[in-house]
């Protein structure tokens, strides 16, 4: 069975099991209770004590700053979170393995009264992508399944051309930001700290060797000639497009 089929089957099976128990992506614990003072954007809130909380496991489109326009569905994501919190300003926080990010924000999953997972709701509404940043991997499969349901039903951002899978060879010249790319691994390279998967002469997927431990079903070093789908953020570095892949949820083997 192709790896992609096994992955999707596992994700959907897990989601169905959780749904049967009630809330999908439920909390295994609540580390703190807090009251929301302000919703900054779809994935960031401010507590009444002044703490900024970045919601773990999701990434909503960016709201424009300093005169720049907001990305499509950015305001909709913020409004959706505001609506969720309107009847439940007091929330439960389940902290990530890492408690703070490099900006000093607290990293936590957000649970409403009754146990509703706010991040999961935004994913299923098509207002967010699933964000995988090890070691904060709690509920990663459940979040990926929630995103998959939104993709299959083309909700929200998944109706936009920029969020559709594109062949690596057909990326537009100025491609940047979040993308889903497909292609054949033409070359597997290795440097001191990374494995490099070249899909074209201008696009390389980078996997840090420190992240290889998460790839249990297959070895990225053995993907030469295989068809893959990668999801993440494109940046141009040293004359080529690069996408960092941190977890197998972000790198599907299609054949």
Q: Domain extents for the chain?
A: 7-157, 165-253
pLDDT of residue 22: 62
Domains 7-157 and 165-253 share a fold: yes
pLDDT of residue 27: 96
| Count of residues in the chain | 255
Topology of domain 7-157 in CATH is: OB fold (Dihydrolipoamide Acetyltransferase, E2P) (2.40.50)
Mean pLDDT by 10 residues, the chain (255 residues): 43 40 85 97 97 98 90 97 92 96 96 95 97 95 96 96 94 86 97 96 95 94 96 89 95 94
What is this structure's pTM?
0.86
Q: What is the homologous superfamily of the domain 165-253 according to CATH? A: Nucleic acid-binding proteins (2.40.50.140)
pLDDT of residue 17: 36
């Amino acid at each position: 069975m192709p790896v992609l089929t096994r992955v999707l089957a596992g994700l959907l099976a897990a989601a169905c099991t959780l749904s049967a128990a009630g809330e999908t992506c439920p909390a295994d614990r609540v580390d703190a209770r807090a009251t929301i003072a302000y919703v900054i954007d779809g994935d960031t809130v401010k507590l009444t004590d002044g703490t900024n909380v970045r919601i773990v496991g999701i990434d909503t489109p960016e709201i424009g700053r300093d005169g720049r326009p907001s990305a499509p569905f950015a305001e909709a994501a913020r409004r959706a979170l505001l609506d969720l919190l309107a009847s439940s300003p007091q929330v439960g926080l389940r902290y990530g393995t890492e408690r703070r990010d490099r900006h000093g924000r607290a990293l936590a999953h957000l649970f409403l009264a009754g146990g509703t997972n706010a991040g999961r709701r935004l994913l299923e509404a098509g207002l967010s992508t699933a964000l995988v940043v090890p070691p904060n991997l709690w509920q990663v499969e459940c979040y990926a399944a929630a995103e998959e349901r939104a993709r299959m039903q083309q909700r929200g951002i998944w109706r936009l051309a920029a969020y559709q899978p594109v062949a690596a060879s057909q990326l537009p010249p100025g491609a940047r930001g979040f993308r889903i790319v497909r292609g054949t691994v033409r070359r597997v390279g290795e440097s001191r700290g990374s494995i490099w998967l070249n899909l074209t002469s201008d696009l390389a997927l980078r996997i840090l060797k420190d992240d290889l431990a998460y790839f249990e079903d297959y070895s990225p070093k053995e993907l030469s000639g295989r068809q893959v789908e990668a999801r993440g953020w494109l940046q141009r570095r040293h004359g080529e497009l690069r996408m960092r892949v941190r977890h197998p949820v972000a790198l599907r083997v299609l054949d």
